[in-house]
């Protein structure tokens, strides 16, 4: 029995959509508003997350880059981010010439610690980039207060949080810009892809230019931009996936609830939703001081458990620096994610729970 940590769920509908585009021959579009399928996808997301504007791009990293470019982040600027996240968050900042400044996280849900955030703000700080990690929503109320007090824009790294909500509002739509990923392991996919949401028309218009070499009508580059366009094939896959997303999320929630029920008595830290929060269960993350032993034995049984992230960004060779992030370093040594994606069956969940129980009782 092999149970991977996450897999894309692609069916006949996606294959039909891709085949249709290949036959049609229009694989991408350099038009300002994008191709037919890009526009259809953007509209479907806009309706789902209740955002005025959505701009599709070719990766979650590109979404973060485009958002930073739209805010004119540049060399000499500082952007506050957590170190406990995928490296794309930091890489996007460095790509603008700016410096990522690492903020610690809270034990509650592994997202940015507002108190440490406040301490890290300097005259060079030009933006805050909280991450809704594992689908957990960052403490947006407190972060919002800090941002307003210091007149700072916020870019939400929502790569892992499509469908997560807090106070009936979608993660990624609380502030100036929200960025998502559609990598195959996410809750829905386009193969590779991403998108940015905003309610600000000026930012939206800038994003449309940024994803297309700064152009509006072709060869009229007005601002700095790159080729960040989402191909029509990817957009068509994503449009189909958006229709399936509610079912995907419902199954993840069911699996998460069942797993919690089966392992709630074990001596491990379980994930939980705080008041007013509805997470998408992208990753079901537990924590234990015996993490490495548990991980090795789960994997030996065919359970694709994995650690996100055993090395925080500030400990990687490229970003290596001495900064005190005690909760980040504790979490990186203890967290472990278990498979609960829609292809995981009830029998699989029971097997995962019993295997975990056996390991902890050894």
Percent of the chain with pLDDT strictly greater than 70: 100
Q: Is the pLDDT of residue 1 over 80?
A: no
Q: What is the mean pLDDT of residues 348-355?
A: 98
Q: What is the mean pLDDT of residues 340-358?
A: 98
Q: Is the pLDDT of residue 325 over 90?
A: yes
Which tokens is 33 given? 């508003």
| 93-101: long-range pairs with CB below 8 Å, 24+ | 93/68, 93/129, 95/65, 95/68, 96/65, 96/68, 96/69, 98/68, 98/73, 98/74, 98/126, 99/124, 100/313, 100/319, 101/125
CA dihedral 104→107→112→116, nearest 10 degrees, is: -50
Q: What is the mean pLDDT of residues 303-319?
A: 98
Q: Is the pLDDT of residue 334 over 80?
A: yes
pLDDT for the residue 92: 98
pLDDT for the residue 256: 98
pLDDT for the residue 13: 98
Roughly how many angstroms between the first and final C-alpha of the chain, as a whole number?
A: 22
Q: What is the mean pLDDT of residues 277-284?
A: 98
Calculate the average pLDDT of the chain.
97
Look-up: residue for tokens 């209740």? Answer: 50
Contact 5/306 with Cβ under 8 angstroms?
yes
Q: Which domains does the chain have, with CATH numbers?
A: 12-240 (3.40.640.10), 245-360 (3.90.1150.10)
pLDDT tens by residue, 74-125: 999 999 999 999 999 999 999 999 999 999 999 999 999 999 999 999 999 9
- State pTM to two decimals: 0.97
- The CA distances from residue 334 to 18, 22, 299, 311, in Å, are 41, 46, 16, 11
Q: Quote the CA–CA distance of 92 and 100 in Å, as a whole number.
A: 9
Q: Quote the CA–CA distance of 83 and 253 in Å, as a whole number.
A: 27
Which tokens is 25 given? 């021959």
Contact 76/87 with Cβ under 8 angstroms?
no
Burial 131-140 (b: 16+ CB within 10 A, else e): bbbbbbbbbb
Q: Where are the beta strands (DSSP E) in the chain?
A: 53-57, 78-82, 99-103, 125-128, 155-157, 165-166, 169-170, 177-181, 194-198, 277-278, 284-287, 335-338
pLDDT for the residue 282: 98
Q: Is the pLDDT of residue 362 over 90?
A: no
Q: What is the mean pLDDT of residues 343-351?
A: 98
pLDDT tens by residue, 11-56: 999 999 999 999 999 999 999 999 999 999 999 999 999 999 999 9
Nearest to 114 by CA among 77, 166, 150: 150
Q: Which residues contact 272 (CB under 8 A, 6 or more apart)?
A: none
Percent of the chain with pLDDT strictly greater than 90: 99
pLDDT tens by residue, 231-265: 999 999 999 999 999 999 999 999 999 999 999 99
Q: Quote the CA–CA distance of 298 and 354 in Å, as a whole number.
A: 11
pLDDT tens by residue, 116-170: 999 999 999 999 999 999 999 999 999 999 999 999 999 999 999 999 999 999 9
Residues 88, 316, 328, CA angle at the centre, nearest 5°? 80
């Amino acid at each position: 029995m092999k149970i991977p940590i996450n897999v894309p769920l692609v069916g006949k509908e996606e294959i039909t959509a891709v085949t249709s585009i290949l036959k049609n021959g229009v694989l991408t579009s350099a038009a300002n508003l994008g191709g037919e399928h890009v526009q259809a996808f953007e509209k479907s997301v806009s309706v789902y997350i209740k955002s005025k504007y959505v701009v599709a791009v070719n990766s979650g990293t590109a979404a973060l880059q485009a958002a930073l470019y739209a805010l004119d982040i540049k060399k000499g600027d500082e952007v506050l981010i957590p170190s406990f996240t995928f490296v794309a968050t930091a890489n996007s900042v460095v790509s603008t010439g700016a410096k990522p400044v690492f903020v610690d996280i809270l034990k509650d849900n592994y997202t940015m610690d507002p108190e440490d955030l406040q301490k890290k703000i300097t005259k060079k700080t030009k933006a805050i980039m909280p991450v809704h990690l594992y689908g957990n929503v960052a403490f947006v109320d407190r972060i919002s207060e800090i941002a307003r007090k210091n007149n700072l824009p916020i870019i939400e790294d929502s790569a892992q949080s499509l469908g997560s909500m807090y106070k009936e509002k979608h993660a990624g739509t609380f502030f100036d810009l929200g960025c998502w990923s559609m990598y195959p392991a996410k809750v829905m996919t386009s193969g590779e892809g991403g998108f940015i949401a905003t309610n600000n028309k000026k930012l939206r218009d800038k994003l449309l230019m940024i994803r297309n070499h700064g152009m509006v009508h072709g060869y009229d580059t007005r601002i700095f931009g790159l080729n960040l366009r989402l191909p029509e094939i990817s957009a068509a896959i994503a449009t189909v996936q958006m229709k399936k997303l509610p079912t995907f999320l419902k199954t993840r929630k069911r699996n998460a609830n069942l797993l919690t029920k089966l392992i709630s008595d074990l001596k491990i830290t379980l994930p939980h939703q705080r008041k007013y929060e509805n997470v998408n269960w992208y990753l079901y993350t537990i924590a234990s001081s015996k993490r490495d032993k548990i991980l090795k034995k789960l994997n030996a049984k065919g359970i694709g458990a994995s650690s996100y992230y055993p090395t925080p960004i500030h400990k990687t060779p490229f970003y290596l620096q001495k900064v005190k992030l005690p909760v980040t370093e504790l979490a990186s040594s203890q967290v472990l994610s278990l498979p609960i994606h829609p292809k995981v069956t009830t029998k699989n969940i029971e097997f995962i729970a019993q295997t975990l129980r056996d390991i902890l009782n050894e």
